[in-house]
Amino acid sequence: MSKFNLAVLPGDGIGPEVTAEATKVLNAVADKFGHTFAYTYAPVGAVAIDETGDPLPDSTLQLCRDSDALLFGAIGHPRFDNDPSAKVRPEQGLLRLRKELGLYANLRPVAGYAELVDLSPLRPERIKGVDMLIVRELTGGIYFGEKGRLNDGNTAYDTCTYHRHEIERIVKMGFAEARARRSKLTLVDKANVMESSRLWREITRELAEENTDVELNFMFVDNAAMQLILNPAQFDVIVTSNMFGDILSDASSVLAGSLGLLPSSSVGATVGMFEPIHGSWPEGAGQDRANPVAAILSAAMLLDHLKLREEATDIRRAVNTALAAGVGTEDLRPRERIGTRAFGDRIARGVTYSG
Instruction: State the residues that interact with ligand IPM by CB under 6 A.
Output: 75-76, 91, 94-95, 246
Residue 262 or 293: the one with the smaller Cβ distance to Mg ion is 262
Beta carbons of 151 and 189 less than 8 angstroms apart: no
Catalytic residue selected from 143, 162, 304, 314: 143
Nearer to ligand IPM, 94 or 239 (CB): 94
Instruction: Work out whether strand 237-240 and strand 263-267 pair parallel, antiparallel, or are unpaired.
Output: unpaired
- Contact in structure between 109 and 263 (CB atoms under 8 Å): yes
Closest residue to Mg ion using C-beta atoms: 246
State the CB neighbour count (10 A cutoff) for residue 230: 11
Provide the minimum distance between the beta carbon of 108 and ligand IPM in the complex, in angstroms, as a whole number: 9
Give the closest residue to 251 by CA, choosing from 80, 122, 74, 72.
122
**From the candidates 12, 54, 189, 246, which is the catalytic residue?**
246
Q: Taking a C-beta distance cutoff of 8 angstroms, is the pair 315, 347 a contact? A: yes
Residue 330 contact partner, candidates ligand IPM, Mg ion, none, CB within 5 to 8 A by sort of partner: none
Q: For the chain, how long is the longest CA-to-CA vector?
A: 66
| d(C-alpha 20, C-alpha 39), whole Å | 11
The partner in contact with residue 237, picked from Mg ion, ligand IPM, none with C-beta cut-offs of 5 to 8 angstroms by kind, is none
Residue 85: how many other CB atoms lie within 10 Å: 4
131 catalytically annotated: no
In the bound state with ligand IPM, the residue whose beta carbon lies nearer, of 81 and 336, is 81
Shortest Å distance, C-beta 94 to ligand IPM: 5
* Annotation says 246 is catalytic: yes
Q: Please enumerate in sequence order all residues whose Cβ is within 8 A of that of 98, keeping only pairs 6 or more positions apart, or say none.
A: 138, 139, 266, 273
- Indicate which of ligand IPM, Mg ion, none lies near residue 94 (CB less than 5 to 8 Å, by partner kind): ligand IPM
Residues that bind Mg ion (CB under 5 A): 246
**Strands, DSSP E only, in 52-164?**
69-74, 105-111, 131-137, 147-150, 155-158
Q: How far is the CB of 167 from ligand IPM (least distance, A)?
A: 18
Supply φ then ψ for residue 275, to 5 degrees: -155, 150
Provide the terminal-to-terminal Cα distance of the chain, rounded to the nearest Å: 18
Are the C-beta atoms of residues 292 and 278 closer than 8 Å to each other? Answer: no
* Residue 50 known to be catalytic: no
CB of 49 to ligand IPM, least distance (A): 14
Catalytic, out of 131, 250, 288, 345: 250
Among ligand IPM, Mg ion, none, partner that 288 touches (CB below 5 to 8 angstroms by kind): none
Rounded to a whole number of angstroms, the minimum distance from the CB of residue 10 to ligand IPM is 15
Residue whose CB is less far from ligand IPM, 94 or 322: 94
- Can 128 be counted among the known catalytic residues? no
Strands 237-240 and 131-137: parallel
Q: Which does 75 bind (CB under 5 to 8 A by kind): Mg ion, ligand IPM, none?
A: ligand IPM
Shortest Cβ 64–ligand IPM spacing (Å): 16
Which C-beta is closer to ligand IPM: that of 76 or that of 260? 76
Length of the chain: 355
Residue 250 appears among annotated catalytic residues: yes
CB of 299 to ligand IPM, least distance (A): 17
Sign of CA dihedral 55, 11, 249, 180: positive
Instruction: Yes or no: say if 46 and 10 are a contact pair by the CB < 8 Å rule.
Output: no
Question: Rounded to an integer, what is the distance from CA 139 to the centroid of its chain?
Answer: 14
Active site residues: 143, 190, 222, 246, 250
